[in-house]
Structure 1
Amino acid sequence: MAEHPDAALVRRGFDAWTKGDMEAVGELMTADCTHHSPGESQISGHIKGRDNVLDMYRKMFELTRGEMRVELQSVSVDGRGHAVAANRFFATREDKGMGIEMNGALVFTIIGGKISDIDECVEDIDVADSFWGQAE
């Protein structure tokens, strides 16, 4: 049985993101894509527009000096333009002397074969906020 196109799209996105290939990630998004990131940290909020979302991802790589990865555990789809990606996130912030290892999920809305909305859920918002910190 072939993988659903929405699941394949999400897998391509995770693969490109893990490699730090923001150009490839951007090609999978609509121009008005929004990423909703929980909490009160410097990467939290409703980041609107593909370029702004990609800038936020670049900031994550910058803050962790590339010491960040995501293990995709599963992708579930509803066949109506939604996909949920369960994952485990690992990162280190040498400047803060701390690391993070946390379960999470991303809920994708897919329109016309492109990602138009990403809702992020994390296991512990307070720990995530502490790890990412406030804007300096």
Structure 2
Amino acid sequence: MTHHPDAALVRKGYEAFSQGDMETIRSLMTSDCTHHSPGSSQMSGHFKGADNVLAHYGQLMELTGGTFRVELEGAYPDGRGHVMAVHKWHGDRGDRGIEMRGGLFFTLVGGKISDIDECVEDIDESDAFWGQG
């Protein structure tokens, strides 16, 4: 099965994330890309600009001692510059582990990711896992 170019770009981003390849991720984003994370934990908020988005991803790894991982289940384009990606994410912090389904809604402009809206299965559980810092 061939993938729509927008879905292929998102899949490439997930693959790069799984390999820790931040330079490839950077190359897929606009310089002013924004990642919106839900909830009220230390990992929640709006991270604007490629440097801030990548720093946010680095913090996911730092807070979980490198155990954070994401398994892509599907990437679904609308053919108008949006892709909905569904995944399961995992991580360990101290004596606590988490496994949760979630998704990212991508907006693409000019073949690059300009906006990422994150959704999680259980915001309260996600907030409890990440804590306030």
Residue of structure 1 equivalent to 2:29: 29
RMSD (CA atoms): 0.8
Deviations, residues 77-124 of structure 1 (Å, cap 9, x unaligned): 100000000000111112xx1011000010000011100000000000
Superposed displacement of residue 19, structure 1? 1.3
Counterparts of 1:1-136 in structure 2, within 5 Å, are 2-94=2-94, 97-135=95-133
TM-score, normalised relative to structure 2: 0.97
> Where does structure 1 differ by over 2 angstroms across 4 or more consecutive aligned residues?
none
- SS in structure 2 of the partner of residue 60 of structure 1: helix
The 2-side partners of 1:100 and 1:2 are apart by: 33
> Kindly, what percent of the aligned residue pairs are identical?
61
Structure 2 counterpart of 1:128, one-letter code? S
Q: Which runs of 5+ in 2 are unaligned?
A: none
Q: Work out the number of aligned pairs and report it.
A: 133
Deviations, residues 41-92 of structure 1 (Å, cap 9, x unaligned): 1110111111001000001100111101111001101000000000001111
Structure 2 counterpart of 1:108, one-letter code? F
Deviations, residues 13-39 of structure 1 (Å, cap 9, x unaligned): 001111111111111100000000000
Question: Comparing 6-15 with 18-27, which one deviates more in the overlay?
Answer: 18-27
Superposed displacement of residue 2, structure 1? 2.5
